[in-house]
Amino acid sequence: MDLLTGTYDCKVDVKGRLMMPAPLKKQLAPILEEGFVLRRSVFQKCLELYPMSQWQVLMQKMNKLNRFNKKNNDFIRRFTAGVKIVEVDVNGRLLIPKDLTVFANISKDIVVASAINIIEIWDKELYEQAIDDAALDFADLAEEVMGQDDDDHGIS
């Protein structure tokens, strides 16, 4: 799968259905039939939508953790808590389960944002707040994360 690109303002209907933005749906077209996994984010009050192939890669990595180590077992349980398999229906809608809508404070106005190989689904106000909060120290964060000479393929 190619990397995903784009941030879109969307709405969720009263049943919790999100109409996938056309440009994003076009990017996902080759994998729409595989389905997706929707889960709570670890660091933010948003949801993460994994294409099934990306989820399986992550689960293979997690499957290598020693389950007889309590921290590993606790991590696996918490990471997979509330995970749901979801599909985009024939009308291009994704149903967000009620428990996940409550977790992410999703009401009507949302933001659907690509995050490399997954999609984040945010309540619009929380997204704007997260972006505003991050803007304060983004230059320092960018230098720390991307400014290192990790490889010969520098980003410019």
Number of H helices, E strands in the chain: 6, 8
* pTM of the predicted model as reported, rounded to 2 decimal places: 0.86
* pLDDT: which is higher, 155 or 62: 62
CA separation (Å) from 54 to 2, 49, 88, 118, 137? 11, 10, 16, 8, 30
7 vs 146, higher pLDDT:
7
Distance separating alpha carbons of residues 138 and 68, to the nearest angstrom: 39
pLDDT for residue 153: 55
58: pLDDT strictly greater than 70? yes
Is the pLDDT higher at 139 or at 111?
A: 111
The CATH number of 7-146, from 3.50.50.60, 3.40.50.720, 3.30.360.10, 3.40.1550.20, is: 3.40.1550.20
User: Is the pLDDT assigned to residue 135 strictly greater than 90?
Assistant: no
Confidence label for 137 from pLDDT (cuts 50, 70 and 90): confident
Q: DSSP H helical segments within 16-69, as ranges?
A: 22-28, 52-62
Whether residue 64 has pLDDT greater than 80: yes
Is residue 107 predicted with pLDDT exceeding 80?
Answer: yes
- Kindly indicate the confidence band of residue 150, based on its pLDDT and cuts at 50, 70 and 90: low
With cut-offs at 50, 70 and 90, classify the pLDDT of residue 143.
Answer: confident
**Could you state, in order of their start, the residue ranges of all structural domains in the chain?**
7-146
